[in-house]
Amino acid sequence: MYSILNWLQQKVFLSRLSILVGIFCGFCLVLSPVALANQTPTEIKVSLGNSTGELKFFPNHLQFKAGTPYKLVFDNPSPEKHYFTGKDFADASWTKKVQAGKVEVKGAIHELELKPEAEAEWFLTPMKAGKYEFHCSIPGHAEAGMTGNIVVE
């Protein structure tokens, strides 16, 4: 009789513990994006090319800390359009929004196109540590050196 009672008490305890852990995890999932959205982002400027038409990113190496919000400020001072393409990095990040002029885009972002003299801001939080690459996806631009790398610690 004692062993059955003891067994039932353990089951009740484990059930209650599981419910508490589930509630705690739920709060963490709900509050994490809210907390990220309210932090002031660190600003990093990235130029896609330059005024002489050089096919490079300035800078071409970006360093981030996982869990820290950033505001990437892109500009294109070159005479032709360029892309900032970093799918793996984007997949490993939480995007709050991309802002360009009077337009705000929300949702998954993998690539930004900037026409000459255009500017855009990408508000994001890298979530997964790792090494990532980015490039301009216009044919010939990456081969000419328009590439870069990202390290998330």
pLDDT tens-digit map of 58-80: 999 999 999 999 999 999 999 99
For the residues 99-123, what does the mean pLDDT come to? Answer: 93
Same domain, 9 and 23: yes
Query: What is the count of structural domains for the chain?
Result: 2
Q: What's the rounded Cα separation, in Å, for the pair 46 and 89? A: 15
Q: According to the model, what pLDDT value does residue 27 have?
A: 60
Edge-to-edge, what's the strand order for the sheet holding 111-114?
A: 61-64, 147-152, 130-135, 82-85, 111-114
Q: According to the model, what pLDDT value does residue 102 have?
A: 87
Q: What's the rounded Cα separation, in Å, for the pair 119 and 98? A: 11
Same domain, 140 and 103: yes
Q: What's the rounded Cα separation, in Å, for the pair 100 and 43? A: 16
Q: pLDDT higher for 130 or 32?
A: 130
Q: What's the rounded Cα separation, in Å, for the pair 98 and 103? A: 8
The enclosing domain of 105 has a CATH number of 2.60.40.420
Same domain, 126 and 60: yes
Same domain, 72 and 106: yes
Domain that holds residue 102: 42-152
